[in-house]
Structure 1
Amino acid sequence: MIGRTGPDRDRRFLLLYALAWAGGAIAYTPFLTILLPVRIELVGGGDSVQWLAVTTFCGAIMASAANIFFGWLSDRSGTRRPWVLAGLLLSGGLLMLVPRAHSLAALTALILAWQGALNMMLGPLAAWAADVVPDRHKGLLGGLLAFAPASGALTGALVTIPNLAGPTLRLGLVAAITTACVLPIILFGRARRVEDEPPPEQATPVPLLRAMATRMWFARLMIQVSEAALFAYLYVWLRGVDGGFGDAAIARLLAIVLLLAAPAALAAGYAADRRGRPVRPLRIAAVVAAIGLFAMALADDGVEATIGFLIFGLATNIFLALHSAQTLRVLPDSRSRGRDLGLFNLTNTVPSLVMPSLTIGLVPLLGFPALFAVMALLSLGAAALLRGLALGEQRSGR
């Protein structure tokens, strides 16, 4: 048992959980952004671009389905820990088989299996927080989750240091670091379930929770569409504004955004807990993201473009981290948290289906400013959806 008192146990669990969630980001960020494209290029040669697109698309579908399925299985079994451990071991083992895949078909099949195994870990891990983190710590949890993207990006930079490791050892390093981050919560993660705490004075009716969950789902989807579109076309847009931007400068800009967003989200989440206003940081972040997008739409040079992107990037990273934690408040049924969070996870994959058609329809005719204006309206729409959403100190799953 970690900790002798409730507060100590809560804090230690939060830290272990944040470490495990960072491990999840480390498991997929370096692989999907760097190591997999390199491997596909090595195996596929001239067909690498098409196969990367196919693998990414099919992988996103597999990840979505597996996240829902294994979240549901962990609901049915009544425990999360064995699923997290099995997913950790299986995904790490499949990752080490990547160098043995010598055809594009074999590599694609392996990636689909890896996505399934990874979400065997991630789905139940997300529901684990819903089981044990009380509402009074949801903002702090969201702030801690913001360190995960930066951890994934830094690990990618680490394993790709020239002459540090070959292709196989790079995958081994990713698997080892992931295990080191996730294993502590499997071994030492002890916390009292939310249901075992004294009930709130006034529970939220289930129909109201479902309505709130729907609004939270669409608000996140709107932000994620904007974030996914910009992530995919940031390089092209920045080069169009200022031809002096190189890949190294853009990589540094992305790293700065992630590193600044983590402490900012932590401060915002802590303040939300102290003041009992969990939705306010989300609405502010959505509005600030729209301001950043309008600034980008009007940018005429590299400095203005950089400032606009910094505003947008910081706001969206803060929004997404805090939203992930505050979503736990509105899950309508404690018996199906894993399944419901899997459905929320669709907001991370559906944008990859929406974004290409949105971009192709706007950019060739009206340019990137029109795309950014539409994205800004989506961000404002997310803020509007969250207006009047009084989560208060209510506890979900009742």
Structure 2
Amino acid sequence: MSERRPVGPAFLISYAIAYIGAFLGVAPLLQILAPVHAAAIDPAAKAAIFSQAIFYGCVAAGFGNILGGAISDRTRSRHGRRRPWIIVGAVLTVASYAVLLWSRTPFMMVVGLVCFQLAFNVLLAPLIALFADRVPDNRRGVMSGVLGMAYPLAVTMGSVIMAWGPQSETARFATLGGIVLLATIPFALLSREDAPPPGEVRALSSGLSPRSLFKPFANRDFSLAWAVRFLIATGYSLVAFYLLYYIADAIGYADLYPGQTAEAGHSLVMTVSLIGVLGVSFLVALAGSRIRRRKLLGIGGGVLLSGAALLLGVTPDWMLVVVAFVFYGMGQGAFGSIEMALMTDVLPSAEDRGKDLGLINLAVTLPQATAPLAALVLLEGFGFGFRSLFFAAVACFACATLALAAIRRVR
């Protein structure tokens, strides 16, 4: 295996910007633009349209993530393996926004989200693989802490942009497209990546049989880490996807604060959540390699997430919702700050990093497909309305915490 080129602060900072920028392209889309677009197509069937589009889109995301990682593993280029596909994925992601923007029927909205998820994951898979390729062990704690802020920061920034930025749908999509291109393309063009030795590059079809593809699951710790990420992501999805509807319908935010929209309430709770995320993530990044027990930090995050989701499920009071999201953010920060390092630590082989990280990322995309289906059952069958989603999230976070405690390779 080739020796890693030393990385300096410039690479680490630009990588973090690209990573956060990429997630800014997806978080507000799934949490704000897609629900609003579904409501514009048919207000009476908005939840069903949105759930169907999310389901098929996320099935495509799982396929795109594994394929994007596998192709980058097998790419031979003087520009490296990962960087060309980051550029291709970014351009295709922006093009997919146009497909979604112009959709006027439920079927075309499904097509738009499928195109988006395929394109976005062609960008995301090689971008994440670069973490394993380039970041040395002694800097993974710091970088994992920084990257743990990425998704919550993207959610909050995206929510604020959607609430207080351009209000036309076209301008909102154009804003997201500009952010994705400005964050990722300069990084891919200007960063350096060694071309892998010939022995590390294989034919595209090699190692992609069903048996080889899922071989990492024979490793106990890999399977447990996958389960942890799947359960955490399912809980996140149950909370996030229908939060706008929860604020509007279950809390009645516009009635509590006349003249304010549900989007404004959404941006408020996302902002206070971000305060918790940044506080914990900053402390973890500052401590860096001095943190010897990553697993305990993740377990603490799981406990905080469980408690916050339980409070959201039982309280009718808006101020307690805000308090719950402070603790929710702290839980996200604690778990997210060790997530990337945890997933990298359990990879069974170096030559299939991209593909195996694609499998791990499948644990994030699958819940985005299954959570809407579970939500439809919970919303119609248990009589608690949107609050039932938070009770299900409690179960997911608690089970994830137990699975994390069982991983042996990570202290």
Shift of 1:363: 8.4
> Are 1:316 and 2:332 counterparts?
yes
* 1:385 counterpart SS class: helix
Unaligned runs of 5+ in 1: 196-205, 394-398
Quick one: structure 1 residues 44 and 138, their matched pair in 2 at CA, closer, same or farther if it must change by over 3 Å? same
* 1:281 counterpart SS class: helix
Q: Which amino acid aligns with 2:267?
A: A
- My pick for the range that moved more, 345-354 or 102-111, is 102-111
Quick one: structure 1 residues 291 and 170, their matched pair in 2 at CA, closer, same or farther if it must change by over 3 Å? closer
Deviation sequence 1:160-187 (CA, Å, 0-9, x none): 646x464333322221121111123212
Residue equivalent to 2:192: 190
Deviation sequence 1:235-270 (CA, Å, 0-9, x none): 666665787477233431122202431342232244
- My pick for the range that moved more, 68-77 or 235-244, is 235-244
Residue equivalent to 2:211: none
Q: Which amino acid aligns with 2:237?
A: A
Quick one: structure 1 residues 137 and 366, their matched pair in 2 at CA, closer, same or farther if it must change by over 3 Å? farther
Quick one: structure 1 residues 42 and 370, their matched pair in 2 at CA, closer, same or farther if it must change by over 3 Å? closer
Quick one: structure 1 residues 194 and 291, their matched pair in 2 at CA, closer, same or farther if it must change by over 3 Å? farther
Residue equivalent to 2:21: 23
* 1:334 counterpart SS class: coil
Q: Which amino acid aligns with 1:174?
A: L
Residue equivalent to 1:379: 397
Q: Which amino acid aligns with 1:132?
A: R
Residue equivalent to 2:299: 283
CA distance in structure 2 between the partners assigned to 1:140 and 1:258 by the alignment: 19
Equivalent of 2:133, from 131, 134, 138?
131
Quick one: structure 1 residues 235 and 98, their matched pair in 2 at CA, closer, same or farther if it must change by over 3 Å? closer
Deviation sequence 1:351-374 (CA, Å, 0-9, x none): 341564377459854748876566
Q: How does 1:7-22 map to 2 (within 5 A)?
A: 9-22=7-20
> Are 1:345 and 2:354 counterparts?
no
> Are 1:262 and 2:265 counterparts?
no
CA distance in structure 2 between the partners assigned to 1:18 and 1:102 by the alignment: 36
Residue equivalent to 1:226: 235
Q: Which amino acid aligns with 1:75?
A: D
Aligned residues: 376
Shift of 1:318: 3.5
Quick one: structure 1 residues 375 and 45, their matched pair in 2 at CA, closer, same or farther if it must change by over 3 Å? closer
Q: How does 1:106-255 map to 2 (within 5 A)?
A: 106-149=108-151, 150-158=153-161, 161=164, 164=166, 166-190=168-192, 210-234=219-243, 240=250, 244=256, 247=262, 248-255=264-271
Shift of 1:190: 2.8
Q: Which amino acid aligns with 2:402?
A: A
Shift of 1:34: 3.0
Q: Which amino acid aligns with 1:337?
A: R
CA distance in structure 2 between the partners assigned to 1:20 and 1:349 by the alignment: 20
Shift of 1:295: 4.2
Deviation sequence 1:7-39 (CA, Å, 0-9, x none): xx3332221111111111121223333334444
Quick one: structure 1 residues 168 and 386, their matched pair in 2 at CA, closer, same or farther if it must change by over 3 Å? closer
Quick one: structure 1 residues 359 and 137, their matched pair in 2 at CA, closer, same or farther if it must change by over 3 Å? farther
* 2:25 counterpart SS class: helix
Shift of 1:345: 1.5
* 1:31 counterpart SS class: helix
Deviation sequence 1:97-137 (CA, Å, 0-9, x none): 54455555445324322321111111111111111112222
- My pick for the range that moved more, 79-88 or 313-322, is 313-322
* 2:142 counterpart SS class: helix
Identity of aligned residues (%): 23
CA distance in structure 2 between the partners assigned to 1:237 and 1:165 by the alignment: 21
Quick one: structure 1 residues 314 and 94, their matched pair in 2 at CA, closer, same or farther if it must change by over 3 Å? same
Q: Which amino acid aligns with 1:119?
A: N
- Would the aligned equivalents of 2:141 and 2:341 in 1 still touch at CA under 8 Å? yes
Shift of 1:54: 2.2
Residue equivalent to 2:84: 82
CA distance in structure 1 between the partners assigned to 2:216 and 2:176 by the alignment: 43
CA distance in structure 1 between the partners assigned to 2:103 and 2:399 by the alignment: 45
- Would the aligned equivalents of 1:262 and 1:318 in 2 still touch at CA under 8 Å? no
Quick one: structure 1 residues 359 and 97, their matched pair in 2 at CA, closer, same or farther if it must change by over 3 Å? closer
Q: Which amino acid aligns with 2:234?
A: V
Quick one: structure 1 residues 37 and 374, their matched pair in 2 at CA, closer, same or farther if it must change by over 3 Å? closer
TM-score (norm. length: structure 2)? 0.77
Equivalent of 1:64, from 57, 62, 65?
62
* 1:229 counterpart SS class: helix
Q: Which amino acid aligns with 1:381?
A: C
Residue equivalent to 1:335: 351
> Are 1:357 and 2:359 counterparts?
no
- Would the aligned equivalents of 1:135 and 1:329 in 2 still touch at CA under 8 Å? no
